[in-house]
Structure 1
Amino acid sequence: MDTLTLSDLTLEDLLPHRGNMLLVKEIMEVDSERASAIFLVEKTWPMADAQGVDPLILVELAAQTAGVCNGWSRIQAQGRDSNQMGWLVGIKKADFFIDSLPFGASITARAENTYSFENLREVACELHMDTQLIGRATLQLFQAN
C-alpha cells in the first residue's frame, strides 16, 4: 500500500460527515496522534440563531478534529477504501469561555489522542478564535467493530 499524503485525501475520506454537518474548512496538520483544523462559523450551522452560534457546538468541532486524526490513522493503516464508520463520542469534560460564536469567525481546533486502546480513545482539545482560548474539551471516543 502506498503512503498517502494529506493532499491526496479529501475531508470525506477522513470523516463520515456530509452536507451541513461537515464543519471542517481546512486541515492544518494531522498525524496519528494529533490534528488541527480550521472552522468558519456560518449561519447554516446547527444551534445558530440571529446573534451567532451556541458555544456547545465547540464539542462537535473538537469531535470532528479528533475524527480527522483518527481517520488519518485508519487510512494509513488500512487504506483509503477502509470502513469509515463514525465514532460514538462521550464528553468527559468541556469548558466554554465565550457566550456565542460570531458569524464569520475563524475557529482553530487542536485535538490530541491522550489515551488509545483498541477501539477506545481519549482526546484532549483546545479551541481558539484568533489568539483567544474559547473552549477546552476532553472527549472519549469508541468505535464498534
Structure 2
Amino acid sequence: MIDDVERLIPHRGLMRLVDEIISVDEKTAVTASTVTESWPMVEGGAANCIVLVELIAQTAGICLGWKEPRKKEEELAGTGWIVGVKEAVFHHSEIPLNSRIITASDRVFQVEFYSEIAGTARVGDETLAEVKLQMVQSDSNVNEETVS
C-alpha cells in the first residue's frame, strides 16, 4: 500500500475519489476507492457509473505523475488533463454506496506529452466499466522514455 495519493494527483476534498494506491509504476497503476455519499453523482443510495471515467482518470494521473526514483522527496506531481474519452463501456448504471472499487489503468501509448490510457473499474470479480482515455501532461511531469 502506498500513501502518496495527494502527492501524485491535484484532487482534494470531495473531488479526490482515490482512497489508496495499491501499486504503481511508470506504465500502470492500481487503486482502491469506496463509494460514499460525498462522491459526485450520488443519488438514491448509489453513484452513477459515469463517475468511473473520473476515477479511472485519477488512477491514470497517479501513474503519469509517478517517477522512480524521485529526484527530491518534496517533488510533487505535475499537471495533466483529460482531452478525450475514446471509448467507454459501462456494464452497470449505478454503484451502491460502500462498494469497494478496484481501478486499474495502463498506459498503452505515449508520445511526448500525449498518452492513451486503458482503464477498468471492478467490484470483486465484476467489471463495472472499461474506459479508454486521451490525456496530456505538462512538460514538468513527462517521463523521459516513450512507453509503447
The TM-score normalised by the length of structure 1 is 0.87
Could you tell me how far 1:50 is from its partner in structure 2?
1.5
Given the superposition, is the C-alpha separation of residues 108 and 89 from structure 1 closer, same or farther in structure 2, using an over 3 Å criterion?
Answer: farther
Distance in 2, matches of 1:41 and 1:95, equals 19
Aligned position for 2:19: 25
Counterpart in the other structure of 2:145: none
**Which aligned pairs between 1:53-92 and structure 2 lie closer than 5 A?**
53-73=47-67, 76=69, 79=72, 80-82=74-76, 84-92=78-86
Greater fraction of residues in helix = 1
C-alpha change, 1:89 and 1:37, in structure 2 (3 Å) is: farther
Q: Summarize the Cα distance change of 1:17–1:140 in structure 2 as closer, same or farther, 3 Å threshold.
A: same
Which of 119, 129, 133 is equivalent to 1:125? 119
Amino acid in structure 2 at the alignment position of 1:142: V
Corresponding residue for 1:136?
A: 130
1:48-78 Cα shifts (integer Å, max 9, x gaps): 11231100001011101101101113x7465
Deviation at 1:11, TM superposition (A): 1.1
Aligned position for 1:93 = 87
The answer to whether structure 1 residue 39 and structure 2 residue 33 are counterparts is: yes
Q: Identity of aligned pairs, percent?
A: 33
**CA–CA separation in structure 2 for the residues paired with 1:43 and 1:49:** 8
Structure 2: runs of 5+ lacking an equivalent: 140-148
| Aligned-residue RMSD, C-alpha | 1.8
- TM-score normalised per structure 2: 0.85
TM-superposed CA distance for 1:95, in Å, is 0.5
| CA distance 1:118–1:43, change in 2 (3 Å) | same
Cα distance per residue 1:4-35 (max 9 Å; x no partner): xx75x521110011111111111111000000
**What 5-or-longer segments of structure 1 have no aligned partner?**
1-5
Runs of 4+ that moved beyond 3 A: 75-80
Q: Could you tell me which amino acid in structure 2 is paired with residue 65 of structure 1? A: T
